[in-house]
Amino acid sequence: MAVRRRKDSRAYMIDIYYHTAVGNLKRLRRTAGMGTTLKEAQNLERRLKKEVERKGGRIIEGTSKQQRHDKSAAFSGFAKHWFDNYCQANNKPSELNSKESILRIHLVPHFKDHDLREIDSEQVTSFIANQKTKGLTAKTINNHLAVLRKLFNTACDWGYLEVNPMNGIKLLKAPQPAFDFYTVGERDRFLIGCQDREPFWYSFFLTAFLTGMRLGELCALNWNAVDFGNDLIEVNASVWQGQRGTPKSGRTRRIPLHSSLKDLLSSMQGESDEPVFKNLSGESLTGNSIRKPFRRIQEAVGLKKIRFHDIRHSFASQLILIGQPMKVVQELLGHSDIRMTDIYSHLTPNANQDAIDSLLEAPKEPKSGHNMGIVIDFSEVSNAQ
């Protein structure tokens, strides 16, 4: 029977094996949801089977152990197989680089040639303990666990495992990541110093401060993504180690052009397929190109040293400090999850006091046709070019 109740859950699990039209073995698993009766779960199972058959699939009947092929694989071998096939097909270059190092340095040396089917939650817990003894942070260990979980999920989908041994394993509690940023005054000192000492880089740094774009997104920005008619920049690409791909979230986003930035960029406009920013030699910009001028400007104007990525934190922090909603900041930064934006929540001015004060305020009727468009106020930035 393909409907069963899992030991660690009150919900029924539907587990269907089938061959595709071209003969590949596939596994379809769905939870029927909390509170669903056995009969309701069986009805859902029938509907799922019909959908599989409608697409040309052939259902394999029998118990789950009979359904799956008795595939055995050493962890080390499957890890390579998973990386060469699943990861190469689904991940961006930066993600591939990260997964490759996590597999090579941490996961494979620990699990070695253990049969996938013999790895259980106890061994995963042992891995966590081992990583802690190395002095790794909770965030780093959680990154390793995320890769391990995905690897095991794929092993289940491909018929190597019946159950993911990480079911029930929770991520470690990690503190909010620390970050630094420039205040409005510090930002303006930097930009004025850039105008005076490194004028070639002024347009690049002004764009960074007034858009919050990632370094790879700035390097990938072409003129056809700058919409002067609608005062928008369309962030639709990113560059990592010379390879062009989608932004980190995988989605395009649009950032309003501040008037001072629009004036400056329009005076520089080039061919639509050309990059907006180039290095001093006229070549495509890379992260290494901006490292030295960034440090020179900081030192010249006597500012604390921050990372380039902290310019993005400066953009977000300044928006929060002038009262912009967290959801707006999330959209401008391109965060796929609001929890990523929550690192700035402690900057919200008087948020708790305002919430309490509002309890006795009379409700106000919304104005019809009110425009909830995004407004960015960076009026302190010098318009000098």
| DSSP letter string, 50-75 | HHHHHTT-EEE-S-HHHHS-----BH
- Model confidence band, residue 32 (pLDDT cutoffs 50, 70, 90): confident
| Per-residue confidence (pLDDT) for residue 385, from 0 to 100 | 34
Of 39-43, 48-52, 157-161, 301-305, where does the model show the most confidence? Answer: 301-305
Q: Which one, of 303, 348, 352, lies nearest residue 325 by Cα?
A: 348
Percentage with pLDDT > 70 across the chain: 85
- The answer to whether residues 327 and 228 belong to one domain is yes
d(CA 94, CA 384) in angstroms, rounded, equals 37
On whether the CB atoms of residues 210 and 381 are closer than 8 A, the answer is yes
Number of H-type helices and E-type strands within the chain: 17, 9
| Per-residue confidence (pLDDT) for residue 366, from 0 to 100 | 40
DSSP 8-state code for residue 275 = B
- The answer to whether residues 29 and 106 belong to one domain is no
Task: Work out the average pLDDT over 358-376.
Answer: 42
Task: Work out the average pLDDT over 320-330.
Answer: 88
Residue 380's identity, in one-letter code, is E
d(CA 347, CA 367) in angstroms, rounded, equals 29
On whether the CB atoms of residues 53 and 28 are closer than 8 A, the answer is no
- The answer to whether residues 125 and 218 belong to one domain is no
| Per-residue confidence (pLDDT) for residue 371, from 0 to 100 | 34
The number of beta carbons lying within 10 Å of the beta carbon of residue 251 is 11
Residue 62 lies in a domain: yes
Phi and psi, residue 160, nearest 5°: -85, -30
Res 214 pLDDT > 60: yes
State the distance between the two ends of the chain, measured CA to CA, in whole angstroms. 73
Q: Which one, of 145, 171, 210, 137, lies nearest residue 339 by Cα?
A: 171
Residue 86 lies in a domain: yes
Residue 22 lies in a domain: yes
Res 216 pLDDT > 70: yes
Q: Which one, of 294, 311, 292, 95, lies nearest residue 213 by Cα?
A: 311
Which residue(s) pair with 143 in the sheet?
Answer: none
Q: Tell me the chain's radius of gyration from C-alpha atoms.
A: 26
Domain of 43 in residue numbering reads as: 3-67
- The answer to whether residues 191 and 284 belong to one domain is yes
- The answer to whether residues 213 and 136 belong to one domain is no
Res 276 pLDDT > 90: yes
**Domain boundary residue among 38, 67, 96?**
67
Q: Which one, of 346, 326, 380, 41, lies nearest residue 192 by Cα?
A: 380
DSSP 8-state code for residue 337 = S
- The answer to whether residues 151 and 194 belong to one domain is no
On whether the CB atoms of residues 28 and 18 are closer than 8 A, the answer is yes
Res 4 pLDDT > 60: yes
- The answer to whether residues 329 and 195 belong to one domain is yes
The mean pLDDT of the chain is 84
Res 360 pLDDT > 80: no
| Per-residue confidence (pLDDT) for residue 209, from 0 to 100 | 95
- Model confidence band, residue 161 (pLDDT cutoffs 50, 70, 90): confident
Pairing state between β 58-60 and 12-19:
antiparallel
- The answer to whether residues 62 and 90 belong to one domain is no
- The answer to whether residues 294 and 340 belong to one domain is yes
| Per-residue confidence (pLDDT) for residue 8, from 0 to 100 | 58
pTM for the whole thing?
0.65
Residue 235 lies in a domain: yes
DSSP 8-state code for residue 170 = P
| Per-residue confidence (pLDDT) for residue 213, from 0 to 100 | 95
| Per-residue confidence (pLDDT) for residue 367, from 0 to 100 | 40
Task: Work out the average pLDDT over 91-97.
Answer: 89
Residue 352 lies in a domain: no
> What's the CATH number where 334 sits?
1.10.443.10
**Domain boundary residue among 20, 40, 67?**
67
| Per-residue confidence (pLDDT) for residue 9, from 0 to 100 | 64
On whether the CB atoms of residues 73 and 111 are closer than 8 A, the answer is no
- Model confidence band, residue 344 (pLDDT cutoffs 50, 70, 90): confident
- Model confidence band, residue 382 (pLDDT cutoffs 50, 70, 90): very low
Alpha carbons within 13 A on the beta-carbon side of 238: 18
- The answer to whether residues 86 and 191 belong to one domain is no
> What's the CATH number where 143 sits?
1.10.150.130
Residue 375 lies in a domain: no
Residue 283 lies in a domain: yes
Range with lowest mean pLDDT among 165-179, 244-258, 349-363: 349-363
- The answer to whether residues 293 and 226 belong to one domain is yes
- The answer to whether residues 282 and 207 belong to one domain is yes
The total of structural domains in the chain comes to 3
Pairing state between β 243-245 and 3-5:
unpaired
Pairing state between β 253-256 and 243-245:
unpaired
d(CA 284, CA 164) in angstroms, rounded, equals 45
Res 350 pLDDT > 60: no
Residue 218's identity, in one-letter code, is L
Residue 83 lies in a domain: yes
Task: Work out the average pLDDT over 7-18.
Answer: 76
- List % helix, strand, coil for the chain (3-state, nearest 5): 50, 10, 40
Number of residues that this document lists for the chain = 385
